[in-house]
Structure 1
Amino acid sequence: MEPSFLALILVGTLVLVMALGLPVAFTLGGLSLAIGFFVWGGTAGFYAVALGALGKATSFTLTAIPLFLMMAAVLRYSGLADDMYEMINRWLGKIKGGLALGTVVISSIFAAMVGISTVATATLGLTAMPAMLKRGYNKKMVAGAICAGGALGIIIPPSVIMIIYASEAEVSAGQMFFGGIIPGIIMAVLFMIYIAILCIKNPSYGPPVEENFTLPQKMESLRAVSLPMFIILLVLGVIYTGLATPTEAAGIGLVGSLICAAIKRKINGENIKNMMAMGVGVNAMVFWIILGAVAYSRLVTMTGVGEWFSGLVTGMDVNRWVILLGMQAIFFVLGMFLDPAGIILITGPFFLPVVKALGFDPLWYGVLFVVNMCMAYITPPFGFNLFVIRAVAPKGLTIGDVYAAIWPFVGLMALTLLIVVLFPQTVTWLPSLLIK
């Protein structure tokens, strides 16, 4: 079968089935098995797709994902977010919008521990949002700050999405981790500048808190960041020193998170039950998506469709930067409807050969993708974080409020994407310095 005709079948059928509202994981997996059955000669093709997907999903690199997700579950119920928020309240509460600014800081720290977006959003939605609303903060600004801050979970390492991309693109997960640090910091700083300007222009958006704290009380609260910094330095430190791979560092981080939870006296029957339920549930969701998407990816690669598409695009008389911009636009649109893990595994076989043929650095391109996926987590209509914050928010916050609040933060993420495009060194400098 001609690659062009097969590409039409693969893409057209995928769009049609997903338009019917079927789950992404089962759509990809079922479609791959069905097409593999007919393209590769019956039962043999069926088994080739299934076993190939299973082999890829159980690779050593992807073993880090369940460990990081379990680590996120432990930290979710460790009480660290409550302590960090109290620290922010004591130090920044008297500043206009100080609690919202501090929420972005906490999001950045939490992002550097958990590796996924929704955990930080849910945790801060339960911890920070009621406290800020009680103090008279504007509900839309608060919702936007928490949603956008939570999205930092996939750009500031460790990041589950970066691990999936590294496995697909065959680049170093460690380099991806360090490549995301500077863009993540840029994004967080832009959020804070926007919130500060908003609260200066409209003081009612973030009024100063009434509580007064002494210097000893403020200094005492700094202990709240000691355990999070321990986990961050532990995970990134063993990667930087070469003592462990990112997969092994995930195991070390999980042990470190359990130690922190024990220090906080959060290891009890109820919390263990919650940690296991969350860890197993999120892992099941992620790996069903990975299995289905990997099956689809393998089919695209093995049938020659990916190579055909690469030749078609690179043979066009178009500037390579226009092609790159087109890819980013496709990512943005897909991000409105699909999970980031599925997006990279669906588009990878098509786009990665093109990226390499055009001479772009796969590491830099990977961070561009992750920045775009930060937007995916907060872009209406189906951004994950939007529904998470709506689910945990107090009564009175509608999904319409959340949609209205989030667009300025989407714009700031787009600005970060532009900065990374114009200055690739924001991605490549730190990995070249730290990872040899």
Structure 2
Amino acid sequence: MDTWLLSLIVFSVLTALLLSGVPIAFALLAIGAVGTLFTWGPKGLLMLFNTAYGEGTSYILLAVPLFVLMANVLKFSGMADELYEIVYRWMGRLRGGLAMGTVAICAVFAAMAGISSAATISMGLIALPSMLSRGYDKGIALGCINAGGALGILIPPSIIMVLYSNMTDVSVGQLFAGGVLPGILLSLVFILYIGIRCYFQKDLGPAGEERFTLAQKVATLKGVISPLLLVALVLGVMYAGICTPTEAAGIGAGGAFLAAAIHRRLTWQRTKQSLMETMHLTVMIFWIIIGANAFTHFLAYAGIQDMLQKAILSLDVNRWVIMGVIQFIYFVLGCFLDPAGILLLTTPIFVPIITQLGFDPMWFGILFTVNMEMAYITPPFGFNLFILKGVAPPDITMTDIYNSVWPFVACQALVLVICMLWPELSTWLPSLMVVK
């Protein structure tokens, strides 16, 4: 069969399965398995499953459940309550202070977690009712939580970066280092946007009236000591070359339990919730990994992957045009698909292309991650949108949530462009670290 016709059939069937509601993991696995069976028979199918299983049991992927466990222990232990109390006492009297502080808390959570749901759920339960009760505009309150939660995949540690590293052999430690400055920049852009809007539109984020003494403010800071020490420990041992990312993830998971115990929040019920949530999310991620590997290996065996790469590289255009088109494709896919699925589906196609064009695959991984931040909050299927709806007060509609995110999507797009124009923002820190 002609390769172009085969590729048209494959992607048409994939689109139909996804639109009919089939989970992306099983859609990819089914197409990969059926396509291989009809093309090479049972022996090809056995080879495909062996390859997909081997990819799914890679040592570096052990970091995924460990970082997820670290995130869930911190989420269920209720440390977000203490962090929000710090924000409330120190920033509550500023216009938009609670919204800006919420973004800051999300950034701290991102550095402790690696997934977006932890901060989104915690702030949706704690910060959203607090802001709304104090007269904050729904758009600002909802938008800052959605956008802040998405920082979890950019500020290290990041599950998406671990998956990207496994697919490309780029050092996960260097990816983590590359995400630090863009993550800080994006957090500051969110905070700056909120501050400017609330300064000129006073009704968006009214200043609080409750006053606290300096002693009362300082007393809350003890709640941030153990989370910051945990972040410094996990990232420090990686950047210094003392531990591999997988070993650092183990330290982080153990440290999260210790921090919860120190704060007297470690109970059997919370431990059980953390373990169950970790199991559910890990199983979902690994099914996507196995399904995507089966699909992409079928594309490679059938020649579709090579055909697409040659077609793109043969275009007589500037390499930056191709890079821009790839980023636009990621943005469109992000409106409809899960970021992990997008990563595993497209990386084998796009990374060889950008490498041949002379781009740094580590830098490209940071661009991809920033782009996928938009995927978490862009309608109609942004993951964070539905998470926040699940914990928001009953009077908050999906329309309210959809309308709240667009200014923050614009902020993310701005940072994406900045990272493209100034690659040093992503490559400087990795150039200083010791790789292990």
Aligned match of 2:253: 254
Give the SS at the match of 2:336: coil
CA contact (8 A) 1:71 1:254 kept: yes
The code of the aligned residue for 2:390 comes to: A
**What's the Cα RMSD here?**
1.2
Give the SS at the match of 2:210: coil
Identity among equivalent pairs (%): 48
How far 1:421 sits from its partner (Å)? 0.6
C-alpha distance in 1, partners of 2:67/2:136? 33
* Comparing 203-212 and 168-177, the one that deviates more: 203-212
How far 1:17 sits from its partner (Å)? 2.0
C-alpha distance in 2, partners of 1:84/1:146? 14
CA contact (8 A) 2:73 2:256 kept: yes
* Comparing 47-56 and 188-197, the one that deviates more: 47-56
Aligned match of 2:27: 27
Residue 106 in structure 1 maps to residue 108 in structure 2:
no
CA contact (8 A) 1:117 1:151 kept: yes
C-alpha distance in 1, partners of 2:10/2:21? 17
TM-score by length of 2: 0.97
Aligned pairs for 1:207-218 (under 5 A) are: 207-218=206-217
Give the SS at the match of 1:205: coil
Aligned pairs for 1:181-192 (under 5 A) are: 181-192=180-191
The code of the aligned residue for 2:22 comes to: L
Aligned pairs for 1:118-137 (under 5 A) are: 118-137=117-136
CA contact (8 A) 1:155 1:181 kept: yes
Aligned match of 2:418: 419
How far 1:2 sits from its partner (Å)? 4.6
Aligned match of 1:282: 281
C-alpha distance in 1, partners of 2:388/2:255? 28
Aligned match of 2:36: 36
Moved over 3 A (4+): 1-6
Give the SS at the match of 1:94: coil
C-alpha distance in 2, partners of 1:2/1:175? 41
Aligned pairs for 1:214-363 (under 5 A) are: 214-363=213-362
Q: Which runs of 5+ in 1 are unaligned?
A: none
C-alpha distance in 1, partners of 2:121/2:85? 17
CA contact (8 A) 2:95 2:195 kept: yes
How far 1:299 sits from its partner (Å)? 1.7
Count of residue pairs the alignment pairs up? 435
* Comparing 283-292 and 297-306, the one that deviates more: 297-306
Give the SS at the match of 2:203: helix
How far 1:6 sits from its partner (Å)? 3.3
How far 1:135 sits from its partner (Å)? 1.4
How far 1:20 sits from its partner (Å)? 2.1
Aligned match of 1:17: 17
C-alpha distance in 1, partners of 2:341/2:434? 28
CA contact (8 A) 2:177 2:239 kept: no
C-alpha distance in 1, partners of 2:366/2:2? 34
How far 1:295 sits from its partner (Å)? 1.2
TM-score by length of 1: 0.97
Q: Deviations over 1:212-235 (max 9, x none)?
A: 111111111111211111111111
Give the SS at the match of 1:203: coil
C-alpha distance in 2, partners of 1:34/1:302? 13
